[in-house]
């Protein structure tokens, strides 16, 4: 069994716990009731509702297993101590400049990564390059269009 640590913010862990609770206590019982109801309709070989509800139940059970593993292996990202010149780490909010434009990212664990909302994984190319960097450092990241240089202008 994989015992890799899964890094989450307090908010990310709370979201996963909420999802787990919803699936176990609401969604799974509802789908189980649909399976039972469909099974009682008779011929299972031609019962589309039975097949669909069984597939949904299988998906839900898989997600429950996945969430249980995540929750067991979760490690909370500690809030950063405010310091003028500390290094980027998990949980840091980093302000960068790229081509004269400001970009703000939060470095999170891979399960919370959401690039559209500027949450990047510490395992992503940019995230890997940022870990350990301080204000004034520059990092180069290989992108499809070529190398992109980012300058770190603040770390919170």
Q: In the prediction, which pLDDT does 144 show?
A: 85
Domain boundaries, the chain: 6-76, 93-155
pTM of the model: 0.71
Instruction: Give the other-Cβ count within 10 Å of 83's Cβ.
Output: 9
Give me the sign of the Cα torsion angle 66, 68, 73, 76: positive
| CATH tag for 93-155 (out of 3.90.1150.10, 3.60.110.10, 3.90.1640.10, 3.10.50.30) | 3.10.50.30
For 34-54, write each residue's pLDDT tens digit: 999 888 887 766 788 888 999
Instruction: Give residue 79's pLDDT.
Output: 60
pLDDT for the residue numbered 84: 44
What pLDDT is attached to residue 85?
52
- The yes/no answer on whether domain 6-76 falls in CATH 1.10.287.180 is yes
Phi-psi region of 13 (alpha: psi -120 to 50; beta: other; left: phi over 0): alpha
Residue 83's pLDDT is what? 45
Stretches in the chain below the pLDDT threshold 50: 1, 81-84
Per-residue model confidence (pLDDT) at position 49: 85
């Amino acid at each position: 069994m994989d015992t890799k640590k899964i890094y989450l913010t307090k908010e990310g862990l709370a979201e996963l716990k909420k999802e787990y609770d919803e699936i176990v206590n609401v969604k799974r019982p509802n789908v189980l009731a649909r399976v039972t109801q469909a099974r009682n309709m008779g011929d299972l070989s031609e019962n589309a509702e039975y097949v669909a509800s069984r597939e949904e139940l299988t998906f839900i059970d898989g997600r429950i297993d996945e969430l249980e593993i995540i929750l067991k292996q979760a490690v909370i990202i500690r809030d950063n101590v405010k310091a003028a010149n500390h290094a980027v780490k998990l949980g840091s909010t980093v302000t960068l400049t790229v081509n004269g434009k400001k970009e703000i990212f939060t470095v999170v664990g891979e399960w919370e990564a959401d690039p559209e909302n500027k949450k990047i994984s510490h395992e992503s190319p940019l995230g890997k390059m940022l870990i350990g960097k301080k204000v004034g450092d520059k990092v180069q990241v290989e992108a499809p269009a070529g190398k992109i240089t980012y300058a770190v202008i603040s770390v919170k």
